[in-house]
Structures are given as C-alpha cells and as structure tokens.
C-alpha cells in the first residue's frame, strides 16, 4: 500500500532553501541526520497532463486566498517573482527561494481532490 509521496527540490543553495521552508513557510519537519531536513507537506494531489516534449514534473503550492497569502509573504520579506495570472483553473504566481529558484503558488478555481 502506498503510504505517502516524497517530493525532492534540487537547489543551488539547499541550506538556505531548507531554512526558508522551515522558517518562512512554516512547514514542520524532521532531521534525517546531519542537518538533512525532510518537511511535512500540507495535503497534496497529483495530476497527469499530456506532454508534447520529454516528461517533466512540477510542484505548485496551493492556498485558499492568494491575495492574503501574498500579503503575509510580503510582510516577511518574501520576493513575489511573477505577477498574478488569471487562468481558467486558478490564480497563479510564484515566490522566490533564497537560492534564486521559483516556487509556483496558486489559488485553485477547479475542484480539489484533497478534501477541502
């Protein structure tokens, strides 16, 4: 039986991005040894989209109220790296991680699978 999913983010500055996930996003976690942090994620879902090119994988964080979440992030000094885009399926933006990578964030307008 599948008991969970493990998401891996590859980073140019793993230590700074781990601190961001712990301190700014507030995700609880465990130290798997030697400072290697593994974080608990909020409820998750998986979708499979058709691809014209090679397969790829994406991670999006979801929130119930994008505007309020962005206000909270701005108050904590988090860089918003994309303007909000209104999509048929949701309101989409992204935040910057300390490593310079982007982490997409959206407010879904579609039905969600994780029981909200």
* Residue 49, in any domain of the structure: yes
Q: Is residue 80 part of a domain?
A: yes
Q: Total domain count for the chain?
A: 1
**Residue 114's pLDDT is what?**
74
Model confidence over 75-112: pLDDT tens digits?
999 999 999 999 999 999 999 999 999 999 999 999 89
Give strand pairing partners of 94.
Answer: 82, 104
SS3 19: helix
Q: Do the domain assignments include residue 63?
A: yes
Mean pLDDT computed over 12-16: 95
Residue 1 lies inside a defined structural domain of this protein: no
Q: For residue 9, what pLDDT band results from cuts at 50, 70 and 90?
A: very high
Confidence check: pLDDT of 116 > 60 = no
User: Which helix H or strand E contains 31, and what residues bound it?
Assistant: strand 29-31
Report CA-CA distances (Å) from 17 to 14, 35, 57, 94, 101: 5, 13, 19, 15, 9
Residue 113 domain-assigned (yes or no): no
CATH number at residue 43: 3.10.180.10
Q: Which residues pair with 96 in a beta bridge?
A: 102
Distance between CA atoms of residues 37 and 55, nearest Å: 28
Global pTM reads: 0.88
Does the structure show a pLDDT above 90 at 4?
no
pLDDT in tens, 62-76: 999 999 999 999 999
Domain membership of residue 72 (yes or no) is: yes
């Amino acid at each position: 039986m599948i008991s969970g999913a493990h998401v891996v983010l590859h980073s140019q500055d793993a230590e700074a991005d781990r601190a961001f996930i712990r301190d700014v996003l507030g995700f609880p976690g465990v130290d798997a040894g030697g400072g290697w942090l593994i974080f608990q994620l909020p409820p998750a879902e998986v979708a499979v989209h058709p691809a014209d090119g090679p397969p790829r994988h994406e991670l999006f964080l979801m929130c119930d109220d994008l505007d309020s979440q962005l206000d909270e992030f701005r108050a904590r000094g988090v860089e918003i790296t994309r303007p909000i885009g209104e999509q048929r399926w949701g309101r989409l933006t992204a935040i910057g991680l300390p490593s310079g990578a982007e982490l997409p964030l959206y407010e879904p307008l579609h039905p969600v699978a994780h029981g909200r």
